[in-house]
Amino acid sequence: MRLLLLGATEGLRYRLADMLGSTLPDALLVARNYTDAPAPVSEEHLSDVIMCTLGRAGEHLEALRQFANSKGSRTNCTPIIALAEVHDSDLAGRALLAGAETVLPLPGLSPALFITTLKLAHAQKLRVESGTRHEEKLPAVPGYRVLRKIGEGGMSKVYLAQRGDQESAVVLKLVDAKLAQDKMFVLRFARECQLLARIQHDNVVKIHDYSVDGNRPYLSMEYFAAGDLKSRIRGGLPAIASLKIMMQIVKAIDAIHSAGLVHRDLKPHNIMFRDWDRLALVDFGLAKPIDPDTTAQMQLTQDGMILATPVYMSPEQCMGKPQDARGDLYSCGVILFEMLAGAPPFSGDSPAALAYQHVNAQVPKLPPRVAGFQNVVEKLLAKNPENRFQSARELFAHIAI
């Protein structure tokens, strides 16, 4: 893999070279200083991935924009990774709008995350060159400039966008075109937007706008510069860091439960970071009121379909029984176990196999280095909700440091 690094200090060059040497020893790292003009096209054409540094106050942002807009970059489709000196969602959004494919904050950057990001960027370039990646037409959303697709699920697609003439990035979640014709699904999507609008908390995603009218219902929300919890778990988390993350998750859960809701789909992919220390819970597509008698408790799930993620489902959810706030606490237990051990407590080849273990299997032992958390994990993962922590506040009081 051929890498072009722009604007890095000598210390950063040595740091990145050390990360590469342990995992990608054959990678060729070429470092160059920024100039007022874009880097030479010939040198860029020799690169599989380009890395551009960004200063704390946005230094080099204009150089990144010029480089991304140069004829060579557009023709060669070489992905650009911005390396930011700080965790700053606004700066990261501006870098994406300028043409970066992704942004990696340098503080706390782990070798695993760095190498994984490089491999994904390189694989993207290879798909473009081979013609196996087909660029779909970007949707038109009034009031937004849609830049590119950044994610996709079975029910919606997620895009990076610019709102009006603002110099910041937002995330647009658009309902799949076919599902947009399903009145029940649109109703569930509208309810997700309404639920998010009700909850005002630092650890819950902030929404800017939503619409359920027209052909493509959408939700506009804040952009998260520092990735999701799943990426951090892959890079390895110290026990204290895991506990601090769980404390913020529990604060978000308490806010949700205080609003009379259960989330029902807690998982590391739904826990996003604004910066290194601050997180927010996203994706309320399966949330529902706790009170079973409320009129909002309609059949918004589909019979015979598993809409939540089986790895993180509570036993009662697996068995199709009513679920209250303690089901979310069970999911917190799965996430805490995964942060401490590096893998979830249960695994299986099918949803049925996972459901069986949630309902019947004993909680595995944590590695010796984090064995002191075993009692907390076992209480969270109790099969009977009555044997778990009974509220997010009770759990927070138990784990607060």
Hey, which residues are catalytic here?
265
Closest CA to 9 of 55, 43, 57: 55
State the distance between the two ends of the chain, measured CA to CA, in whole angstroms.
Answer: 44
**CB-CB contact of 247 with 397 (8 Å):** no
Determine contact, residues 186/155, Cβ cutoff 8 Å. Answer: no
Q: Record the tokens describing residue 215, joined without a space.
A: 């052909």
Contact present, 225 and 274 (Cβ < 8 Å): yes
Residue in 206, 224, 205, 207 with CA at minimum distance from that of residue 93: 224
Extract the tokens encoding 212: 């359920």
Question: Could you count the other beta carbons within 10 Å of the beta carbon of residue 188?
Answer: 22
Instruction: Transcribe 314-345 into DSSP letters.
Output: -HHHHTT----HHHHHHHHHHHHHHHHHSS-S
Tokens of 71: 């004829």
CB 102 within 8 A of CB 82: yes
**Contact 334/381 with Cβ under 8 angstroms?**
yes
Residue type, 339: M
C-alpha separations of 94 from 36, 174, 301, 360 in Å? 19, 22, 38, 49
Q: How many CB atoms lie within 10 A of CB 131?
A: 7
Residue 241 corresponds to which tokens in the numbers above?
């860091």
Tokens matching residue 156: 């919606």
